[in-house]
Amino acid sequence: MTWSELSELLAVGLQETAWMVFVSTVLTAVGGLLLGILLVLTAPGGMLAAPAVSSVLGFIVNVTRSLPFIILLVAVIPFTRAVVGTTIGTDAAIVPLTIGAIPFFARIVEAALREVPPDVVAAATAMGATRRQIVGKVLLREARPGLVAGLTITVIALVGYSAMAGVVGGGGLGDLAIRYGYQRFDTQVMIATVIALIVFVQLVQTAGDILVRRLSHR
């Protein structure tokens, strides 16, 4: 394989990975944040304590998280068809990636929100803050560094999951590494894709770290 062929392969793979990870990250950020907030609010002793809702949500999250991603990928195929209209390709891969990542990120959001000292929430309550103000201006705002750090972890997990997107024809760098390196013993392509993945992950982590440092005033 020539250099230009290789770089062509890598460029396409990188583009596919970036797209899958980007879209599913945006969807996961929104979905995971909402689910995480709901987990905190409905928990016993929470602001909207609802034990039944809380245990159902917790159960769904745990079930989703215990499935191996490859099985989730196949299991949601009918849903994917309903949402995207097709079951193969990069866009089709985004659906299982998002479904797999939302519960993961939701737990991180839950943990980050619980890190906000109860004292601070009590102080806001004592000032006469509304529940909306407490969620928006106290919990989410105070937890911001933790949320960004958690999102960074999620993005990187998504990069890992996306390697399996090849199963539904999603492509991407991981798929490249598996097809060329694992199935065809093409070491050159494998090493190149792995290096590209490492650089990608490093960039994401570094960007996340910088943002966290900027947001953190503890």
Partner 1 sequence: MYVIEIAGLRKTYRAKGRRDRAVVAVDGVDLSVAEGDVFGVLGQSGAGKSTLLRCVNMLERPDEGTVKVGGVDLTALDRRGLREARHGIGMIHQHFALLSSRTVAGNVAFALEVTGVPRNERRERVAELLELVGLGGRADAYPSQLSGGQKQRVGIARALAARPKVLLSDEATSALDPETTDSILRLLLDLNQRLNLTILLITHEMNVVKRICRSAAVMRDGRFVESGAITDLLDRPDSELARGLFPLDAPTSLDGHTVVDVTVSGDGADAPLLAEVARRFDIDVRIMAGSVEQLAATRAGRFRLAVPAGDDAPLNYLSERGARIGRPTAPSPIEIQGAAS
Binding site for partner 1 (CB under 8 A): 117, 119-120, 122-130, 133, 137-138, 141-142, 144, 215, 217-218
Measured from the CB atom, is 11 or 123 closer to partner 1?
A: 123
Cα 80 to Cα 76: distance, rounded to the nearest angstrom: 6
In whole angstroms, how close is the CB of 147 to partner 1 at the nearest point? Answer: 11
Measured from the CB atom, is 122 or 203 closer to partner 1?
A: 122
Measured from the CB atom, is 124 or 194 closer to partner 1?
A: 124
In whole angstroms, how close is the CB of 186 to partner 1 at the nearest point? Answer: 50
Cα 186 to Cα 205: distance, rounded to the nearest angstrom: 29
In whole angstroms, how close is the CB of 121 to partner 1 at the nearest point? Answer: 9
Which residue is associated with the tokens 């020539």?
Answer: 2
In whole angstroms, how close is the CB of 93 to partner 1 at the nearest point? Answer: 36
The DSSP code sequence of 38-92 is: HHHHHSTTSTT--HHHHHHHHHHHHHHHHS-HHHHHHHTHHHHHHHHS-SSSHHH
Residue 89, phi-psi category: left (phi > 0), alpha (psi -120 to 50), beta (remainder): left
Measured from the CB atom, is 78 or 118 closer to partner 1?
A: 118
